[in-house]
């Protein structure tokens, strides 16, 4: 693995820790704000909706091709860190918390997809292996706040969530210093892609099948990642108050 690939995958690990940082504090939030399991689901979905809106924006606007991938990644990591910190420090209940989590989701649209583009720009010949590493880091990154909580079980919930913000800032600095790879195509045409072209793409059966399959995959994948920690708590902590309503 080259030094550049290593930097990108570690940055992905750190930045994607923002994704489910709120879930690592589910028990504390349920006590403080009297949240139900459905409320926590709504909080989680706020991030997902933000990610969907953000990726649609990058796709329709063409920003992902018109501007530096490393700059977009770094800026989104910093903004994500700020919104995540606002969630920890300024949220007063489910409504305000959901707004901040939605904003975090928006920034993740400039982290995960742009990270894939960035890593390929350093060595297209090993794209398959590199993307596999990146997706692996995404998986570990989204679980990272739970790992931090496990290591520091006595830490206050805000500290655990803020740790994700510090990691995202570190990732932004690393990618800003690294920059774009030599194989990244530079687009000089500043005209916007007509929206009609996007609609026309869905008339192609192969594209439509792939796109709809991926959309479904995203929903089942993140639903799985969200529910696994709850199953683990039921298995190893059968008297957990948040899940079982027991003291």
Both 39 and 62 in one domain: the answer is yes
Mean pLDDT of 24-41: 87
Which ranges in 69-126 belong to alpha helices (H)? 69-90, 94-108, 112-120
For residues 29-40, average pLDDT: 88
Could you tell me the sign of the dihedral formed by the alpha carbons of 241, 242, 244, 245, in that order? positive
Domain boundary among 174, 190, 206: 190
CATH of the domain at 149: 1.20.1250.20
Predicted pLDDT at 235: 74
Q: Which of 28-42, 54-68, 149-163, 224-238 comes out lowest in average pLDDT? A: 224-238
What pLDDT is attached to residue 187? Answer: 58
Average pLDDT rounded to a whole number, residues 214-226? 74
Which distant-in-sequence residues (6+ apart) come within 8 Å of 247 by Cβ?
241
pLDDT number for residue 192:
57
pLDDT in tens, 122-153: 988 888 888 898 988 888 888 888 888 887 66
Q: Using CA atoms, how far apart are residues 240 and 27, in angstroms rounded to an integer? A: 9
| pLDDT confidence tier of residue 177, bands split at 50, 70 and 90 | very high
Most confident segment among 21-35, 43-57, 69-83, 230-244: 69-83
Res. 8 pLDDT band, cuts 50 70 90: very high
- Nearest by Cα to 15 from 178, 141, 104: 141
State the Cα–Cα distance between residues 74 and 107, nearest whole angstrom. Answer: 10
pTM of the complete model: 0.81
Same domain, 151 and 169: yes
Assign 67 to helix, strand or coil.
coil
Same domain assignment for residues 68 and 161: yes
186 φ/ψ sector (left φ>0, alpha ψ -120 to 50, else beta): beta
- Check whether 245 has a pLDDT greater than 50: no
Task: Report the pLDDT value the prediction gives residue 16, as an integer from 0 to 100.
Answer: 94
Band of pLDDT at residue 111, cut at 50, 70 and 90: very high
Mean residue pLDDT of the chain comes to 85
Lowest mean pLDDT among 78-92, 198-212, 221-235: 221-235
Same domain for 121 and 203, yes or no, is: no
pLDDT at 64: 84
Give the count of beta carbons closer than 10 Å to the beta carbon of residue 215: 10
**Do 161 and 198 share a domain, yes or no?**
no
| One domain for residues 81 and 125 | yes
Count the domains in the chain: 2
Domain region containing 42? 3-190
State the CB neighbour count (10 A cutoff) for residue 165. 25
* Angle value at C-alpha 226, between 223 and 228, nearest 5 degrees: 105
d(CA 47, CA 49): 6
DSSP 190-243: -PPPPHHHHHHHTTSHHHHHHHHHHHHHHHHHHHHHHHHHHHHHHHH-TT-HHH
Q: What is the pLDDT of residue 188?
A: 55
Per-residue pLDDT of 187-201, as tens digits, reads 555 555 556 667 787
Q: What is the longest distance spanned by two Cα atoms in the chain?
A: 62
**Is the per-residue pLDDT at 246 higher than 50?**
no
Same-domain pairing of 113 and 202: no
């Amino acid at each position: 693995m080259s030094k550049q690939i290593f930097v990108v995958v570690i940055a992905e690990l750190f930045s994607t820790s923002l994704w489910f940082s709120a879930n690592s504090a589910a028990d504390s939030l349920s006590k403080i704000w009297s949240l139900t399991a459905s409320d926590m689901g709504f909080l989680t979905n706020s991030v997902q909706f933000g990610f969907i809106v953000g990726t649609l924006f990058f796709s329709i606007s063409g920003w992902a091709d018109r501007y530096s991938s490393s700059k977009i990644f770094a800026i989104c990591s910093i903004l994500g860190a700020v919104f995540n910190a606002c969630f920890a420090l300024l949220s007063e209940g489910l409504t305000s918390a959901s707004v901040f989590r939605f904003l975090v989701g928006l920034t993740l649209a400039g982290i995960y997809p742009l990270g894939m583009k960035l890593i390929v720009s350093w060595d297209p010949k090993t794209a398959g292996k590199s993307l596999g590493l990146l997706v692996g880091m995404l998986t570990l990154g989204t679980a990272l706040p739970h790992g931090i909580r496990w290591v520091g079980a006595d830490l206050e919930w805000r500290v655990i969530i803020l740790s994700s913000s510090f990691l995202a800032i570190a990732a932004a600095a690393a990618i800003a210093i690294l920059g774009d790879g030599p194989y990244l195509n530079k687009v000089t045409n500043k005209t916007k892609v007509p929206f009609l072209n996007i609609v026309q793409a869905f008339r192609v059966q192969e594209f439509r099948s792939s796109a709809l399959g991926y959309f479904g995959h995203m929903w089942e994948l993140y639903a799985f990642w969200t529910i696994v920690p709850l199953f683990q708590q039921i298995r190893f902590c059968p008297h957990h108050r948040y899940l079982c309503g027991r003291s």
